[in-house]
Amino acid sequence: MQCSSVSPTYSGLPSGMSGPSFWRCSLWSWSVRRRSLVEKMPFADALYFAFVTALTIGYGDIVMHTPVGRLIALLIGLVGILFSGLIVAVLVHAVRESIEESEK
């Protein structure tokens, strides 16, 4: 369907796009924009990307191209930083307690 080749009229509506064909074109363009919000990649690549991002390695071989994908990547990175710090804190606390117990 060619929606972009229609020139607008004075009233702001595209010429030749009155009634059902206007709505059909609008729905088609909405569905194209709607599908573009999701990254198209295999599950294995998405899982690999999530681990690389969460561990803050960031090789850059897989990148997100849509705004929603970039937002999800940002959130995965922030959660990864928080969990990595939490794991390090728990391990340091456990080692510190074991050292204190061995000194007593």
Quick: pLDDT tens for 47-100: 999 999 999 888 989 999 888 899 999 999 999 999 999 999 999 999 999 999
- Are 62 and 84 in the same domain? yes
Residue 14 DSSP label:
B
The answer to whether 67 and 45 have CB atoms below 8 angstroms apart is no
For the cut 90, the answer to whether the pLDDT of residue 13 exceeds it is: no
Q: Whole domain around residue 71: which residue ranges?
A: 43-103
- Are 20 and 65 in the same domain? no
38: amino acid identity, one letter: V
Beta bridge partners, 14, equal 8
- Are 31 and 50 in the same domain? no
pTM attached to this predicted model = 0.58
- Are 47 and 75 in the same domain? yes
Domain count, the chain: 2
- Are 70 and 98 in the same domain? yes
- Are 55 and 89 in the same domain? yes
CA distance 44 to 61: 14
User: What is the reported pLDDT for 19?
Assistant: 53
